[in-house]
């Protein structure tokens, strides 16, 4: 029986860990295994070493990059760095004794042998986000308030909008977490921040246990990452945990009942409000749309019979799909819960610069619009893209992650002129297309077993991902007609043929431009 079980503490806690609630707590001598040496794992190990913990780092990949990181961690004081697949198969001892704690990188599944052994032995497991929450309070520095964002889709856009609004409101703020900057690197900034806009994946939420944000939102939820969580129910439960212990406002999507149910079932701090957002007309305690305006009926005194104008939809871009409006409203709700004025929302929207590979215009030639939405890595995201255009040549496929494509194809069949398939295993999409869009022409590369291309990790197959995209663009151009949109919204992950969704998107854009199109300035609708 573990120490946690003996004292009635939850499985992620022990009597000693319970007292580790600030940077200035007594971390010295704590025996910690850090699982993973990627960005978050490296940051966690570096932080723990600085705190005085005894740290052993494990990663299955004995790559040149990992060896360089290992050398750095050894220099700063890691007790051991163990690289190679064999080391990830069991929980290592720390100075000859069982670890007090495992801090895992978010990509490691609960079923991974090292983590499974730790859980069976009663060793608490935290993620880097949990560690960041524990050390966020530090004497002599401001303690940032956290605004937390999750959802199957739209997280990065919403986090970016939230950051832009906070900065426009005069706050020292930064986007962190799953968005790219390891949250522990942000926590350790010597100046500190007023607010953190924290993007949290379902993986990170699974390993986070005590976060108590000022305000939180789950933008939406749809089938994704079933392979990691083991079931859709477990995935939804991880997403729902973002609302636990929220203090001021739980923001939910009025148009998706599941997110409202999450709020209803969450154990929040007394006085916390439920605030909805909708792309339709808002009721009391909601943000929404009136004509072409984003409005607030939640954070104003006279919300029973009036609304505060936040911004016009046109300020989001030239053509604005519904899901971008929803993302902007969710971000607005978060910063309004944090006490920011209306002007901060408007000025933040105007200042926001969207990232690449998110409904990005590549070219507009001969009446055909070419769009790169490589970030659409699941059916829910792809459906949001498809619904934005009336007639589509759809470039789709990749690593399916165990999801179903039936609803996606059924809901969008009428707008499909043709489909061009990528992905080493096109069978899941082919089946859905045959069942729900049997009259839509479908093309696939003669041999889909392609490699990564010149900027990926390589493959023994002579056909590169770049060559694949050249064929894709040629095939799409052959079938596209005036008024069509060639939309790459794969509804799948990229790692079977590309090193990342960004590599996939870059290959698509390069192939489009290589055939003669210079494109327009990239933007997100």
Q: Name the 3-class secondary structure at 154.
A: coil
Nearest residue to 258 (alpha-carbon basis) of 285, 237, 280, 288: 237
Can you tell me the distance from the alpha carbon of 479 to that of 140, in angstroms, rounded to the nearest whole number?
63
Does 485 belong to an annotated binding site?
A: no
Does 151 belong to an annotated binding site?
A: yes
Q: How many CB atoms lie within 10 A of CB 457?
A: 12
Q: Name the 3-class secondary structure at 370.
A: strand
**For residues 468 and 497, is the Cβ–Cβ distance under 8 A?**
yes
- 16 CB burial (10 A radius; 0-12, 13-18, 19+): middle
- 124 CB burial (10 A radius; 0-12, 13-18, 19+): buried
Does 153 belong to an annotated binding site?
A: yes
Does 304 belong to an annotated binding site?
A: no
Can you tell me the distance from the alpha carbon of 16 to that of 224, in angstroms, rounded to the nearest whole number?
36
Sorted by sequence, the CB contacts under 8 Å of residue 149 that are 6+ apart come out as 155, 158, 159, 162, 197, 198, 199, 200, 216, 217, 219, 242, 330, 334
Place of tokens 């993620």: 127
Does 162 belong to an annotated binding site?
A: no
186-209 per-residue burial string, b: 16 or more CB within 10 A, e: under 16: bbbeeebbbbbbbbbbbbbbbbbb
Can you tell me the distance from the alpha carbon of 414 to that of 406, in angstroms, rounded to the nearest whole number?
14
Q: Name the 3-class secondary structure at 385.
A: helix
Task: Using the Cα atoms of residue 131, residue 135, residue 141 and residue 147 in order, give the sign of their dihedral.
Answer: positive
Place of tokens 């990065």: 156
Residue 316 has phi, psi (to 5 degrees) of -85, -15
**For residues 328 and 311, is the Cβ–Cβ distance under 8 A?**
yes
Q: What share of the chain is helix, strand, coil (3-state, %, to 5)?
A: 35, 20, 45
From residue 523, give the alpha-carbon distance in Å to each of 106, 159, 390, 414, 515: 30, 17, 19, 26, 21
- 248 CB burial (10 A radius; 0-12, 13-18, 19+): buried
**For residues 222 and 411, is the Cβ–Cβ distance under 8 A?**
no
Annotated binding site: which residue ranges? 151-157
Annotated binding site for ATP: which residue ranges? 151-157
């Amino acid at each position: 029986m573990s120490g946690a079980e003996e004292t009635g503490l939850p499985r992620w806690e022990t009597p000693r860990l319970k007292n580790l609630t600030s940077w200035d707590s007594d971390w010295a001598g704590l025996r910690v295994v850090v699982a993973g040496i990627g960005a978050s794992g490296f940051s966690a190990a570096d932080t723990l070493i600085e705190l005085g913990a005894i740290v052993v780092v494990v990663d299955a990949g004995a790559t040149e990059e990992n060896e360089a990181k290992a050398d750095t961690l050894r220099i700063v004081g890691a007790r051991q760095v163990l690289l190679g697949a064999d080391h990830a198969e069991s929980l290592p001892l720390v100075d000859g004794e069982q670890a007090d704690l495992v801090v895992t990188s978010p990509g490691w599944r609960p079923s991974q042998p090292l983590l499974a052994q730790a859980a069976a032995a009663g060793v608490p497991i935290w993620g880097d986000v949990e560690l960041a929450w524990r050390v966020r309070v530090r004497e002599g520095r401001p303690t940032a308030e956290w605004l937390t964002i999750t959802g199957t889709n739209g997280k990065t856009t919403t986090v970016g909008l939230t950051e832009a609004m906070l900065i426009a409101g005069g706050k020292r703020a930064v986007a962190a977490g799953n968005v790219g900057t390891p949250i522990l690197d942000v926590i350790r900034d010597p100046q500190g921040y007023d607010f953190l806009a924290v993007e949290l994946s379902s993986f990170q939420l699974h390993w986070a246990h005590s976060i108590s944000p000022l305000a939180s939102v789950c933008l939406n939820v749809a089938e994704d990452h079933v392979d990691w969580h083991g079931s859709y129910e477990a995935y939804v439960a991880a997403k729902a945990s973002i609302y636990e212990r929220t203090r001021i406002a739980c923001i939910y999507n009025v148009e998706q009942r599941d997110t409202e149910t999450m709020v209803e079932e969450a154990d929040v701090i007394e006085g916390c409000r439920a605030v909805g957002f909708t792309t339709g007309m808002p009721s009391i305690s909601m943000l929404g749309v009136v004509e072409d305006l984003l409005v607030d009926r939640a954070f104003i005194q006279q919300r029973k019979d009036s609304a505060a104008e936040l911004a016009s939809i046109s300020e989001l871009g030239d053509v604005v799909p519904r899901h971008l409006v929803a993302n902007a409203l969710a971000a607005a709700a978060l910063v309004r819960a944090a006490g920011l004025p209306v002007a901060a929302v408007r000025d933040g929207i105007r200042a926001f610069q969207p990232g690449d590979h998110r409904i990005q215009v590549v070219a507009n030639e001969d009446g055909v619009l070419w769009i790169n939405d490589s970030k659409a890595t699941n059916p829910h995201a792809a459906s949001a893209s498809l619904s934005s255009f009336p007639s589509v040549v759809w470039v789709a496929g990749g690593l399916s992650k165990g999801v179903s494509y039936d609803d996606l194809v059924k809901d969008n069949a009428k707008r499909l002129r043709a489909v061009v398939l990528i992905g080493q295993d096109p069978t899941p999409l082919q089946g859905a297309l045959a069942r729900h869009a049997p009259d839509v022409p479908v093309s696939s590369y003669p041999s889909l077993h392609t490699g990564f291309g010149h900027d990926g990790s390589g493959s023994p197959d002579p056909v590169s991902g770049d060559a694949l995209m050249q064929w894709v663009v040629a095939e799409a151009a052959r079938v596209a007609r005036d008024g069509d949109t060639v939309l790459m919204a794969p509804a799948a992950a990229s790692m079977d043929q590309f090193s990342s969704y960004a590599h996939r998107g870059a290959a698509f854009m390069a192939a489009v431009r290589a055939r003669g199109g210079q494109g327009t300035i990239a933007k997100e609708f």
